Structure 1
């Protein structure tokens, strides 16, 4: 993510970097509970927490920034809930539909497509190098990560089976340098067309 912020800064674009869950005091407080392996709330409770934080984040941070002409760079958003939670909580789609009027459709979505195997290796490396514990979702293992990837792949497609206009699929099996190059290429084309 830092390279995206650097790309915008080098071109003089005003940006706001934020994340989900989180972004606001309310969202950050919920984040600690939602991704913690220490609590074992039912899947519906997690889903309600994510969408509560998301609505607050969208209404109190994202939309005001966009209204000021600021580019918002958000790590994860509503599609992440659909990808990560719909398998364990079928009500997530209904919750998403209920909250949709309070959300904002992203102008550009990067789907970093990566196998569960590669993802697990990289998460373990990051955990060791940076002493960052795996969160509740990262700890669910191979089969879960494969399902998340399948869910993202389906979310990336429109009704005709084509990649949605605002989505860019990046082969994240590549080296970091190649991933960055692909994203920067997409950003350049997107900002020139805007």
Structure 2
């Protein structure tokens, strides 16, 4: 089996940039596949469009179920086959995003969100999760300054985003062996350096 490494964090935390750097670094010695959630395959990208389009207001539980459905198809169609081929899979978001965004951000609660995702993932969990920790205000400011197109979740109020970060913080405290925290307020170079150090350590431990 390969290695399943996921990247988590609030909006604007720099996941895309870090994943690109990690892929370049690991590709020297490993077959690496990058992907994202929601998305990564045709069906999941279609669900992504529904989830993130501005104006598509929906019930929080509907939102959670759509994320879980997208995750399931992405997992069986793309992630699991790559892992079975022995590849390193770098995934922008996975189940922790649902726990943070819907469990905490939507105040649905972790237990309910976990139950539908437990059904979706069938015990497939990341080997390692990099949590790019950043204050929500700083992340939203980055989105504005970088002129990135905002989506429906970006436009939620600051209380929502603070609750998401609270969720990530508690998850990282509860699962320290899997979730490793990187200070995403640092320079891009230092964030990547810290991330690569964590991944190197993980790969050494895995032999």
Compute the TM-score of the two structures, normalised by the length of structure 2: 0.84
Does the CA-based 8 Å contact 2:79-2:89 persist in structure 1?
yes
What does residue 155 of structure 2 align with? 139
Higher relative contact order (Cα pairs below 8 Å, separated by 6+ residues): 2
C-alpha deviations, 1:120-144, integer Å up to 9, x for none? 21111222xxxx3111111114222
Q: CA deviation at 1:58?
A: 1.1
Unaligned residue ranges in structure 2 (runs of 5+): 1-18
Q: CA deviation at 1:59?
A: 1.4
Does the CA-based 8 Å contact 1:44-1:89 persist in structure 2?
no
Deviating runs (4+, > 3 A) in structure 1? none
CA distance in 2, matches of 1:141, 1:183: 29
Q: CA deviation at 1:101?
A: 4.7
Specify which of 186, 189, 204 is matched with residue 174 of structure 1. Answer: 186
What does residue 81 of structure 1 align with? 98
Q: CA deviation at 1:63?
A: 1.0
CA distance in 2, matches of 1:8, 1:93: 35
What does residue 187 of structure 1 align with? 199
CA distance in 1, matches of 2:136, 2:100: 14
Q: Which of these two proteins has the greater Rg computed from alpha carbons?
A: 1
Specify which of 63, 74, 99 is matched with residue 46 of structure 1. Answer: 63
SS at match of 2:173: coil
CA distance in 1, matches of 2:169, 2:193: 21
- 1:153 equivalent to 2:169? Answer yes
SS at match of 2:27: helix
Matches of residues 87-126 of structure 1 in structure 2 within 5 Å? 87=104, 88=106, 90=108, 93-103=111-121, 104-126=124-146
Unaligned residue ranges in structure 1 (runs of 5+): none
SS at match of 1:164: coil
**1:67 and 1:190, CA in 2 relative to 1: closer, same or farther beyond 3 A?**
same
Q: CA deviation at 1:148?
A: 0.8
RMSD between aligned residues: 1.6
